[in-house]
Structure 1
């Protein structure tokens, strides 16, 4: 296992700055997720750690080694891509051991490592099959097994579940979490899906436009976002952000409050006469355990509410009451204000 240290790391393509000075410490054995919208630089940052992209400036350490100029194969990292990239003419056993064969690892040792990884990933019965005979989830497990057999210090995952259907994504998330628990290796995982980030990470790194917006545990980012961007990116459905004047009924915020944030799950529906906010239901999305209401407030804004799974018809007039302890206050620049 190895720690990871990034100091003022930058990446420029021509005249375009993609990574603009990233500082990050990843502890030994930590599971860290890079998350952010498309184009934020998360995959580029991962590729810089792997050595697939050069570092324009700054310092990148894996363990105690500065690896800015070290070849990818000598960094002690293994990368799992969105594409499984399996050789169609090789069996599962041969795919998993191919990298070891290229590195001229002895046949017996190759076989031992492949068997060990196959047992870990429950692939023993599939070792003699070809990729065309596997499901998407099985192919992704083979790709992960190919990484495991190299005994890397750091695992790098670049949106590995993007090609899977929704049910399989949920299953593979649990498998990757269990794998990390068993192996204990340092893992860096890139995704645009904040639900994946919340369920997998020890620590989340939220990126935007090549900068880090905030670093913290899933709970820290959910309960104490540093700014409006993080507040709305972390959590599903996203946080409601209202002008302070429109949300005056929710109570007075700290001095300088320009915007009020409240998550849909922290609002409850009450009769309109009792509501701190009042509006008209535009859409009610029944999801089984609950309903997601889109409500046009009388103040002119639209907000989301997670309500009990009762039928509330469109055009119904409703009031909303907020959990006062869950209200977030932001200044005019979108930065969080501390509560008194």
Structure 2
């Protein structure tokens, strides 16, 4: 059983503290995604787990071993990078088996492991090819295969899909999710893309400025964000944040808590109704048609723009006035400290 425990983990580069005290437990077999904006420390944290970055202070356990001073090669982890990092002069078979060869694993055992990984990743027919003869998605599968053959206790992924086009990203997401189900190995995955986080993770860790903002399942973070940052980072399009008084117009009988300064409502939870004095009113400033739905930008009387996901075929005309309403259970209230108040 191999999970991870991070205790008050910190990382400093000179006078700059990048990781500022992270406490986190990852269970054996979990798929955990680190997500956050650029510069939040997610890749640095992953490299600390892998052993590629030293730990300034705190404790890191892989299984029941304290690994602060354990070399990367002896931690029982395998890392898949954004850049694939394949050897251009080696074919797929030799790329996948290179690490085993360096560790002097017998040839017959190397071949068995490579063949098993190739079958798992559907690379059987590509073992004789060189990286230059592969697509981006195939190269990434080879990089994952190279990690699999080492039988690691923990897989680490550092933005592995960033170099792929949109269609390939969707395909590789499903392949990585299927791989996790087959292997049942602990996986830690770094991305700046919250859609990747939502679709892959058992548990999401939202990071900002070297600290954890919130940890939870995708559904928990979507339905019960702990603060304004998480509320607007998780979900696409991002949550609308309006003055707390707007709640009474959005939902009948909605009474904001006394401490609330803002109310959040997701664009997909807003319904378009006839304008009246009893609903939130606004004018259509822009419509973005995407096929299945249209994203409407609605200008409110206070000058704010509110996003609305509209799935109807009959769209309000540009400049027309509409009303907006939402169910009470879909409103999120935030106090002046930007912490989520009671829903």
Q: Secondary structure at the match of 2:7?
A: strand
Partner of 1:40: 40
Which residue of 2 is the match for residue 314 of structure 1?
A: 318
The number of residues matched between the two structures is 339
Which consecutive unaligned segments of at least 5 residues does structure 1 have? none
Q: Paired residue for 1:337, among 293, 317, 341?
A: 341
Determine if the alignment matches structure 1 residue 151 to structure 2 residue 151. Answer: yes
Match of 1:264 in 2: 267
TM-score by length of 2: 0.97
Please give the secondary structure, in 1, of the residue aligned with 2:245.
coil
- SS across alignment from 1:110: helix
Displacement of 1:260: 0.3
Which residue of 326, 330, 333 corresponds with 1:326?
330
State yes or no: 1:23 paired with 2:18: no
The SS at the match of 1:221 is: helix
TM-score (norm 1): 0.98
**Conservation of the 8 A alpha-carbon contact between 2:247 and 2:256:** no
Report the secondary structure of 2:260's partner residue: coil
Q: 1:7, 1:58 within 8 Å by CA — same for their partners in 2?
A: yes
Whether contact under 8 Å (2:245, 2:256) holds in the other structure is no
Q: Distance in 2 between matches of 1:181 and 1:281?
A: 45
The 8 Å contact of residues 247 and 255 in structure 2, kept in 1 or not, is answered as no
Give the distance between the partners of 2:312 and 2:69, measured in 1 at CA.
57
Deviations 1:95-129 (A, max 9, x none): 00011111111111100000000000000000001
Name structure 2 gaps, 5 residues minimum: none
Q: Does structure 2 conserve the Cα–Cα contact (< 8 Å) formed by 1:3 and 1:63? A: yes
Corresponding residue for 1:216?
216
Question: How much does 1:316 deviate?
Answer: 1.6
Corresponding residue for residue 294 of structure 2:
291
For the residue of structure 2 that corresponds to 1:273, the secondary structure is coil
Contact 1:121 1:145 in 2 (8 A): yes
Indicate whether 1:276 and 2:279 are aligned.
yes
Deviations 1:131-178 (A, max 9, x none): 111111000000000000000000000000000000110000000000
* Equivalence for 2:105: 105
1:274: Cα distance to partner? Answer: 7.0
> Could you say which residue in structure 1 is the equivalent of 2:81?
81
* Cα distance in structure 2, aligned partners of 1:275 and 1:295: 17
Describe how 1:180-219 pairs up with structure 2 within 5 A. 180-219=180-219
How far the C-alpha of 1:313 sits from its partner, in A, is 2.6
CA contact (8 A) 1:275 1:320 kept: no
Deviates more, 1:18-27 or 1:273-282: 273-282
